Amino acid sequence: MKLLVTGGAGFIGSNFVRQVLAQHPGDEIVNLDKLTYAGNLENLADLKDNPRHTFVRGDVASSRDVSRVFRAHAFDAVVNFAAESHVDRSLHMGPREFIRTNILGTQLLLDAARKRGVRRFLQVSTDEVYGSLGPEGQFTEQTPLQPNNPYAATKAGADCLVRAAGHSHGLDIVITRCSNNFGPFQFPEKLIPLMIAKALANERLPVYGDGLHVRDWIYVLDHCAGIDVALRQGAAGEVYNIGAGYDVPNLQIVKRILALLDKPESLIEYVKDRPGHDRRYAMDSAKLQRTLGWRPAHPFDDALRATVDWYVQNRAWWERVRSGEYRKAYDTLYGWRDRKAP
């Protein structure tokens, strides 16, 4: 299968590209990524000589970049990871880039996929589109979309456009909605890598509000495995929730990280809450488990320990991406070039 993966230089996308190339020896991937602050070719350094992986620097919200890549390759499927992904940025820096990439970018990809007869379009979405839960219950695929922050609103908008492309134009679409991921190569702005980085530097760990907001955590490779099975075996037009059923308050995660690093809880600092902060997420992924046989394979404690170890061992990586230094360094370090589609 020949795949167009967008956003494959980011956290989840780079883990997905690596996993697909390892598990499907017949597959080829073209990886279209703009390399924003969150996209980093160091995440793919081990693949730079892999003939089944082609990197193209380009913008999903540019019709020129999108049509170039679709003219140059005949894809069997598109897996759309490309997004502005950080809730705090959408709140504090404004939603403009989120609207451009997450909504316009998705529509341009849908149009190109339809025009070129691509067999399947998988949209990588999020549990945030469902809004917030009360003290009981879980999100199912039937839960109405009630996004509460600008990031979530753009992801919900994209989901609606993907659904409409299937309904109106008969494009074969699948949407996956996953809970909070963690693992190697996550940009150190998100809770787990940020807390690890701050604890290692003996800095204050900023916990929003009372720290009792609940997120449902999944190891990134389990998410990637769920996307892969939905891509290959999911039914056209369906939505699949992906979650590992590990829903706990943020404070518990932060305390666990401190314990793993042998740092004191006095480093925790309660700070002003995120505006409109969703109180609780919990995913029901029974549909994916029942119909496609997917199961999370990485117990939370083992995966968190492995992730903390990875950040300890790869301090140079996160210090460099955090400072933006990799932008200057990646060509000389890894011999990468920004390759435009012909």
Binding site for ligand NAD (CB under 6 A): 6-7, 9-13, 33-36, 38-39, 59-61, 81-85, 101, 105, 124, 126, 155, 178, 180-181, 187
- Tokens 């080829």 correspond to 28
Binding mask 82-121 for ligand DAU (x = CB under 6 A): ---xxxx---------------------------------
Q: Examine the residue annotation and report whether 128 is marked as an active-site residue of this protein.
A: yes
Q: Can you list the positions of beta strands (E) in 209-294?
A: 214-219, 239-242, 247-249, 268-271
Out of ligand DAU, ligand NAD, none, what residue 5 binds, judged by CB under 5 to 8 A for its kind, is: none
65 is catalytic: no
- What is the distance between the alpha carbons of residues 173 and 155, in angstroms, rounded to a whole number? 16
Helix (H) or strand (E) holding 123: strand 120-126
Q: Which does 13 bind (CB under 5 to 8 A by kind): ligand DAU, ligand NAD, none?
A: ligand NAD
Dist CA 144 CA 131 (whole Å)? 9
**Measured between alpha carbons, how far is 205 from 190 in angstroms, rounded to an integer?**
12
* Closer CB to ligand DAU, 132 or 171, in the complex: 132
Among 143, 154, 241, 250, binds ligand DAU (CB under 6 A): 250
Spell out the residues 6+ positions from residue 74 whose beta carbon is closer than 8 angstroms to its own.
2, 116
Among ligand NAD, ligand DAU, none, the one that 113 touches (CB under a kind-dependent 5 to 8 A) is none
Least distance (Å) from ligand NAD to the CB of residue 266? 28
Q: How far is the CB of 152 from ligand DAU (least distance, A)?
A: 7
With contact defined as beta carbons under 8 Å apart, do 322 and 30 qualify?
Answer: no
Comparing CB distances to ligand DAU, the nearer of 187 and 317 is: 187
Q: Residue 234 or 243: which CB sits closer to ligand DAU?
A: 243
- 3-state DSSP assignment of residue 108: helix
State the minimum distance, in angstroms, from the CB of residue 165 to ligand NAD: 17
| Residue 232 backbone dihedrals phi, psi, to 5 degrees | -90, -30
Among 76, 145, 164, 206, binds ligand DAU (CB under 6 A): 206
* 101 contact choice in ligand DAU, ligand NAD, none (CB below 5 to 8 Å, kind-dependent): ligand NAD
Could you tell me if 35 and 57 are in contact, meaning their C-beta atoms sit under 8 angstroms apart? yes
Location of structure tokens 């490309």: 82
- Interface size with ligand DAU, residues (CB under 6 A): 20
Burial of 194 (0-12, 13-18, 19+ CB in 10 A): buried
Pull the structure tokens for residue 342.
Answer: 């012909």
Q: List the beta bridge partners of residue 270.
A: 207
- Annotated catalytic residue 127: yes
Q: Which two tokens stand for residue 31?
A: 């990886």
* Distance in Å, CB of 272 to ligand DAU, minimum: 10
Structure tokens at 127: 């549990």
Interface positions, 269-328, toward ligand DAU (CB under 6 A): 274, 281
Chain residues that interact with ligand DAU, rule: CB under 6 A: 85-88, 126-128, 179-180, 190-191, 194, 206-208, 213, 215, 250, 274, 281
Residues annotated as part of the active site = 127-128, 151
